[in-house]
Structures are given as structure tokens and as C-alpha cells.
A and B are shown apart, each in its own frame.
Chain A
Amino acid sequence: MTATLQRWMWPILLLAMFLIVWEVAVILTDTPTWMLPRPTDIFAAFREDHALLWWHTQVTLTEVVIGFGVALVSGVAIGIAIDSSPVLERSLYPLIIASQTIPMVVLAPLLLIWFGYGLTPKIIVAALIAFFPITVSTVDGLRAADREVMAMLRSFGASGWNRFRLAKLPAALPSIFSGARIGVAVCVIAAVFGELVGASEGLGYLMQRSASQFLTARVFAAIFILSFMGVGLFALISLLERILLPWRKYLSDRPRA
């Protein structure tokens, strides 16, 4: 517990110092609130608009969670398919990598035309963005399985399914978790981007509307919520990894031979 406290003490201290400097600087330079609000203005916005902020947070969080879920399931499934089929690896994998050169800026307006202003286009943008790191890390993780371990299992007479279940998938899990952590962080950005292109709800929409009304403190409040959401989801996946892969911690503090 104290170790956790110590680890978090320094970043929190730095953040507090940053907020104080910000507050003082805005007061001293007499910057108008609509241009750069003070941290205390932002806290005031949190207090006054908490119902509004919470409503739009729920919308964005829904898009992120569903989009990430779709990306996780399809990314791992397609990663496994690519690893197990040389034909797919040669045909599909290069296409998936090439698809990353299509900018989301181009795709998002198209999705708007096809799927309207609802949640669907945002979920699709979020899923498309997170899908790539998850697929690549799944393929890499499965490829990294120890060849000798696989040969040993074959020498035991293990079936293909048993080799996958007992050795390949567990060996790939740390890599899949890395991909998922990156995926969830970019998922938040993607959902907000989807909302900026065209939406009637969500934190991206709220930011855009508030900015046009010069309610800058509210824009900052939305930004804070978004970064908190990104960090929180990232931490949640890290926590899940520590719980599901308890053996990992012994690898890092293993004494050198």
C-alpha cells in the first residue's frame, strides 16, 4: 500500500504544482476566462454542469466500451486465424496493415453518411482504430510461442487444439494485453473524433458546442474527463492483466543467474 502511495505521490505533486502555476499565471496576466479559464473556473464548471457532463460522458463511454469490445473480440479472432493459416497470413495480413494508411479523417465522414448521427459510426471508428494494435499484438504473441515447447507437446502426442490451448494462447496473452492497453487508449480518441465529425451527444459534441458558445471552462472539464477515462481504462486493463497473469511478476524480479 505504501509502495503504491509512494509511486503516485510524485505525479500527483507535479500535477498540483502545474495547476497552481496555471492559476497564478492566469490571474497575473489577466487573461479572460473565455480564452483560458483558471483551474478553479474548471472546477466550478464541474460543479455547475455535472448532470450535463455526466450524461455526455455516459454516451462517449458507451461508444468506447462497445467499440473496444468489438475490436478485442474481432482482433484476437482474426489474429488467431492469421497465425493458424499461412494463406490468410499472406493474403489478409498485408491488407490489414495497408488499411492503416487510410486516414480516419477521410473515413469518419463516410461512416456518417452511411450510418447517420447515432452511436453506430462512432463505435465503428473506435473499433477500427483499436482493432489494428490488438490484431498485430495477437499475431506477434502467437508467433513468439517457443518452438521447442511446441515440439515437446507434439512428442507427448498433443493434438493441435491442445497445443494451442496449453501453450500458444497462454504464451500470447501478455502480448495481447499490451495490444489491448494501446487499443483502449486510442479508442477514446477515436470515439471523440467520431463525435466531432457529426453528433448530437457525447463529450466531443459537448466540447464543440461549448467552444462555439465560448464556454471554455466546460471544454476543459470535458478534456479532463476524457483524459481520466483514457487513463482509467488503461489502468483497468493493467489491473486485469495482473490478476489474470499472476506469474508475470516473477519474471521481472527474477535474480540474474
Chain B
Amino acid sequence: MRNPSDIPRVRLDRIDAIYIEDDVTLEALRDISFSVEDGEFVALVGPSGSGKSTLLDIIAGLYAPAGGDVILDGETLPTPARLGASSYMHQRDLLLPWRSALDNAALALEVHGVPRKQARQRALERFDEFGLAGFEDAYPAQLSGGMRQRVAFLRTVLAERPLLLLDEPFGALDALSRVVLQSWLLDLWERERQAVLLVTHDVDEAVSMADRVVVLSARPGQITHIETIDLPRPRTRDMLTSETFHRHRVALLRALGLLDQPQEALIASEVALA
């Protein structure tokens, strides 16, 4: 008997994806295989158009792959059956403008059949923890971008699915809100330890948050590199200046082809000196 926690939360087995746009077939993803273990934080980086979001859509059950299997908790589920199995959060907060912050946070619970009153109560219990106390009755239009995103996080977390899919959740925020929300999410994750798959185009974000970083190439997206991050938990902002952080950063930038020769040589020599 295997320990249930040995089974990955999600395992992707040779996923291919194609897009048909104006009768032109585009290959979005080719032969993607990796897994996210229970309690693991995995980041997915790649240039725009590398199919990162498509991959999340596939795992969430919104999009059918052209080939390959998605195995959730050891079970191979066809596309529509995966709907509702994970919590999916997008770059845009996607709050419903006619619902108060509290009702927006309770939305996923309501969809899952929790009675409205109970759903609101469960959302209310965590408002303080999400830095939203006092804004229960505010409409999204009355909230700042950072607060809106925290409401969206609360909605995602309350769904209590074993796998969180985060599609550039900090992408629409200004630099300061982004840093604040990143550390806040890390704190939250230290307590919850859900399996997370985070899509980002920010290498620093990936290294500072994830246990492993999967690098995709430009279209068709293929895995070019998987970097295991050697930083201890809990992560701190100080680690951004550490030599280990720097080493991972260089490796990822190189895998993304973002370093040209002279710079690469320069950084390599820096690393060698350190």
C-alpha cells in the first residue's frame, strides 16, 4: 500500500494541446509531463504564448488537450469531469460588481451547494485574516486593486480544493502591492500547505515562492528545464539577496534564453567568485 500523500495532486502525462484559430491550427503545448505533489508549490514560467494559461485551463477542465492524460489524486479524469476539482484563480480578480466583497468571497462555496447564509458566515470568519475586515459590505468598485485581489484569493481558498491553480495572480498589481501580496500569500500557504501551481512570467516571483520551477519554451510550449529551489522555508524577503537565489535566477534566465553570451559569462564569473 502506498501512502495516499505519495500520490501527486496532479500528474500531467504527455499533454499536447492545439488551438484552431481562423482555420489555422496552432500547436500550443507539446509533450508536457510533470507533477505537483501534495503540499508542493510549483511555479510555471515561460514567454508569452508558451501556453501556460492553456495548461491551467486543461487541468481545471475548461479545455480539452489534444493528447495525454491529466491524473488528479491518482485518478485519470476526462476533461469535463475535472471541472470543480481544483480552485482556479485568474490574473483579473473577476469579482462580480453587483456582489459585496463578502458575497463575492462566498461565491465558490455557493456554487458548491453551501447555503448562502452559511457560505457568508464562513467567508466572514476569514475576512480579518485576509486584511479585509470592515469591507464586508463594500462593492468591488469601492476597493483598491490589492484588496480586490485578496477577495479573489479568499474566494479561491474558501473553495477548499486540494489544488490551487494561480494564473499570474499578481500580474495586474502595481509593484508595491505585488510585493506585499506575495509575502502575504506565502504566509497563507505556510499555514494551508495546499498544492499550488503558479503561472508567472516573473522569474524572481517564481524563485522566491516555489519549491520547483518548470520552464516552458515559446510556442509550442515544451518543458526546457525544471529547477528545484534550494531555499529553506519559511521564505523571507532577505533570501532575495542570497547567493542561492541568485544562482537559481541565473539558471532560470538562461533556460528562458534571456541571457546573451557576454552577460552570461559575466554572471557566471560572478557566481564563481562568490
Instruction: Report which A residues bind B (CB closer than 8 A).
Output: 146, 148-149, 151-158, 162, 166-167, 170-171, 173, 245, 247, 250-251, 254, 257
Contact of A250 among B83, B107, B139 (CB under 8 A): B139
Would you call A170 and B62 a contact (CB within 8 A)? no
Report B-chain residues with C-beta under 8 Å of the C-beta of A251.
Answer: 97, 141
Report B-chain residues with C-beta under 8 Å of the C-beta of A156.
Answer: 83-84, 88, 107-108, 111-112, 159
Report B-chain residues with C-beta under 8 Å of the C-beta of A245.
Answer: 98
Would you call A157 and B98 a contact (CB within 8 A)? no
Report A-chain residues with C-beta under 8 Å of the C-beta of B111.
Answer: 153, 156-158, 162, 166
Would you call A170 and B61 a contact (CB within 8 A)? no
A-B contact pairs, 23 of them (CB 8 A): A146-B94, A148-B92, A148-B94, A149-B96, A151-B57, A152-B88, A152-B94, A153-B111, A154-B62, A154-B83, A155-B60, A155-B61, A156-B107, A156-B108, A156-B112, A162-B111, A167-B96, A173-B98, A245-B98, A247-B97, A250-B139, A254-B141, A254-B142
Would you call A157 and B84 a contact (CB within 8 A)? yes
Report A-chain residues with C-beta under 8 Å of the C-beta of B13.
Answer: none
Q: A148-B90, A148-B92, A166-B107 are in contact. List 9 more A-B contacts (CB 8 A).
A: A149-B94, A155-B62, A156-B111, A167-B96, A170-B98, A171-B96, A245-B98, A247-B98, A250-B139
Report A-chain residues with C-beta under 8 Å of the C-beta of B99.
Answer: 247
Cβ of B218 to closest chain A Cβ, rounded Å: 24
Q: Which residue of B lies closest to A245 (CB)?
A: B98
Q: Which residue of B lies closest to A152 (CB)?
A: B94
Q: Which residue of A lies closest to B86 (CB)?
A: A155
Would you call B97 and A152 a contact (CB within 8 A)? no
- Contact pattern, B 42-61, Cβ under 8 Å of A = 1, otherwise 0: 00000000000000010011
B31 at the interface (CB under 8 A from A): no
Report A-chain residues with C-beta under 8 Å of the C-beta of B68.
Answer: none
- Contact pattern, B 139-180, Cβ under 8 Å of A = 1, otherwise 0: 101100100000000000001000000000000000000000
Cβ of B109 to closest chain A Cβ, rounded Å: 9
Report A-chain residues with C-beta under 8 Å of the C-beta of B94.
Answer: 146, 148-149, 152
Q: Which residue of A lies closest to B57 (CB)?
A: A151
Would you call A247 and B139 a contact (CB within 8 A)? yes
CA distance A149 to B57 in the complex (A): 13
B73 at the interface (CB under 8 A from A): no
Q: Contacts A146-B94, A170-B96, A247-B97 hold; do A157 and B139 have CB atoms under 8 A apart? A: no
Cβ of A106 to closest chain B Cβ, rounded Å: 42
CA distance A78 to B149 in the complex (A): 37
Q: Contacts A247-B141, A250-B142 hold; do A166 and B62 have CB atoms under 8 A apart? A: no
CA distance A251 to B142 in the complex (A): 8
Contact of B145 among A162, A166, A257 (CB under 8 A): A257
Would you call B141 and A250 a contact (CB within 8 A)? yes
CA distance A173 to B99 in the complex (A): 14
Report B-chain residues with C-beta under 8 Å of the C-beta of A146.
Answer: 94
CA distance A251 to B57 in the complex (A): 30
Would you call A157 and B90 a contact (CB within 8 A)? no
B110 at the interface (CB under 8 A from A): yes
Cβ of B163 to closest chain A Cβ, rounded Å: 12
Would you call B159 and A152 a contact (CB within 8 A)? no
